[in-house]
Amino acid sequence: MNITVLGCGRWGSFMAWYLNKIGHNIILWGRESSEKFQELKLNRKNSFLELDEKIELTSDIKKALEFSEIILVSISSQALRSFLENIKNLDLKNKIFVLCMKGIEENTGKRLSEIMYEILGDLIKVAVWVGPGHVQDFVNNIPNCMVIDSDNNNLTEYLIENFSSDLIRFYYGRDLIGTEIGAAAKNVMGIAAGILDGINKECLKGALMSRGTREISRLIKVLGGHELSAYGLAHLGDYQATLFSEYSNNYKFGKLISNSNKQKFDNLAEGVMTSYALVKLGKENNIDMPICEAVCDIISGKITPEESISRLFSRTIKQEF
């Protein structure tokens, strides 16, 4: 199959590497001004992997979109809307877009698939590819399980049939709302985990995993998804890679801010913007989101990590379920 990958960062370059490895024809697009794109053009490798010579690199977005029916998107979630506005006048009819990123639009609280349909219309098809795993492990042949979901079961099955290998075992997603919200929200829990480790409160990570998943499951349900999706690969199943691994940007960001370290965090931590979006959704739907609210308040400097724990512990005692 001909497949286009938009975005040449850590995950975009991995998707190109992986799909080429299992036999597909790949074109990888990046902005000409991008340092990551220039690095790949110059050396055909980055700090994570080396690209096969068969993978074509281009900064021509029209060429990249015309190359294939299936288009993977791996860019910043908050930049998705502006990116789509720039390409919406191109011929995209019947294209399959697979979102390989996790986030919720900060200002609107919209899921990424909602933004896709809003701007490009219903002549396209949209799926998401999420779940646990780190590029650093995959390129060293360490396998993992992931999930592909869409609002079209036939599309989900088609993609899994063509993307599966002995390196990634895919599961069929059947709840696009739950999969998208869960995948985005696990990044917020990653920040929370980094904060706990940063203040030597690792003992609370078990409670974070349990109560964090429950918090997100309530939101998924009120938004129209299935609350059990929070316990699947997109959310709880991705906790090891996000709450415990030094490879996780969100975990590292949380650890950094917990130490009151003023050092700039140079990598993208999607959980920052997602935390604000989740709190917005919680308020709009009258759902209590204490952990997400605590993360927001710590990031914005309203409270310290220690104060947030005191606030959480002083809440009214509740039934666990």
**144 plus 182 within the same structural domain:** no
Instruction: Name the pairing type of β-strands 125-130 and 144-150.
Output: antiparallel
Q: Taking 80 as the threshold, does the pLDDT of residue 73 lie above it?
A: yes
Whether 23 is covered by a domain: the verdict is: yes
**16 plus 30 within the same structural domain:** yes
Per-residue model confidence (pLDDT) at position 318: 86
Q: Which helix (H) or strand (E) covers residue 281, if one does?
A: helix 271-284
Report the CATH number that the domain containing residue 289 is assigned in CATH: 1.10.1040.10
Tokens at residue 76, please? 């910043």
Whether 133 is covered by a domain: the verdict is: yes
Residue with tokens 């040449």: 8
At residue 260 the predicted structure's pLDDT band, cuts being 50, 70 and 90, is low
**Span 280-297, pLDDT tens digits:** 999 999 999 999 999 999
**14 plus 95 within the same structural domain:** yes
**152 plus 187 within the same structural domain:** no
Instruction: Kindly state the average pLDDT of the residues 199-219.
Output: 96
Instruction: Kindly state the average pLDDT of the residues 223-237.
Output: 97
* Residues 197, 52: Cα–Cα separation, whole Å: 39
Residues belonging to the active site: 186
**12 plus 32 within the same structural domain:** yes
**19 plus 164 within the same structural domain:** yes
At residue 321 the predicted structure's pLDDT band, cuts being 50, 70 and 90, is confident
CA-CA distances (angstroms) from residue 176 to 105, 107, 227? 16, 21, 12
Structural domains counted in the chain: 2
Instruction: Kindly state the average pLDDT of the residues 150-154.
Output: 97
Instruction: Kindly state the average pLDDT of the residues 90-109.
Output: 96
**75 plus 209 within the same structural domain:** no
At residue 258 the predicted structure's pLDDT band, cuts being 50, 70 and 90, is confident
**Span 167-198, pLDDT tens digits:** 999 999 999 999 999 999 999 999 999 999 99
Per-residue model confidence (pLDDT) at position 292: 97
pTM of the model: 0.95
At residue 266 the predicted structure's pLDDT band, cuts being 50, 70 and 90, is low
**129 plus 18 within the same structural domain:** yes
Q: At which of 148, 172, 196 does a domain end?
A: 172
> Using an 8 Å Cβ cutoff, are 113 and 121 in contact?
no
Q: At which of 172, 201, 218 does a domain end?
A: 172
Whether 76 is covered by a domain: the verdict is: yes
Q: Is 180 helix (H, G, I), strand (E, B) or coil?
A: helix
Q: Taking 90 as the threshold, does the pLDDT of residue 269 lie above it?
A: no
Residue with tokens 């490879």: 247
Q: At which of 172, 203, 228 does a domain end?
A: 172
**Span 123-145, pLDDT tens digits:** 999 999 999 999 999 999 999 99
Q: Taking 80 as the threshold, does the pLDDT of residue 267 lie above it?
A: no
Whether 120 is covered by a domain: the verdict is: yes
* Residues 317, 99: Cα–Cα separation, whole Å: 40
Whether 318 is covered by a domain: the verdict is: no
% of the chain beyond a pLDDT of 90: 93
Q: Which residues pair with 73 in a beta bridge?
A: 6, 99
Whether 100 is covered by a domain: the verdict is: yes
**20 plus 161 within the same structural domain:** yes
Q: Kindly tell me the burial class for residue 292, based on how many C-beta atoms sit within 10 Å of its own C-beta (0-12, 13-18, 19 or more).
A: buried
Whether 320 is covered by a domain: the verdict is: no
Per-residue model confidence (pLDDT) at position 265: 62
**182 plus 168 within the same structural domain:** no
Report the CATH number that the domain containing residue 142 is assigned in CATH: 3.40.50.720
At residue 261 the predicted structure's pLDDT band, cuts being 50, 70 and 90, is low
Per-residue model confidence (pLDDT) at position 273: 94
Whether 85 is covered by a domain: the verdict is: yes
Domain extent for 65: 2-172
Average pLDDT, the chain: 95
**9 plus 23 within the same structural domain:** yes
**99 plus 186 within the same structural domain:** no
**Span 12-27, pLDDT tens digits:** 999 999 999 999 999 9
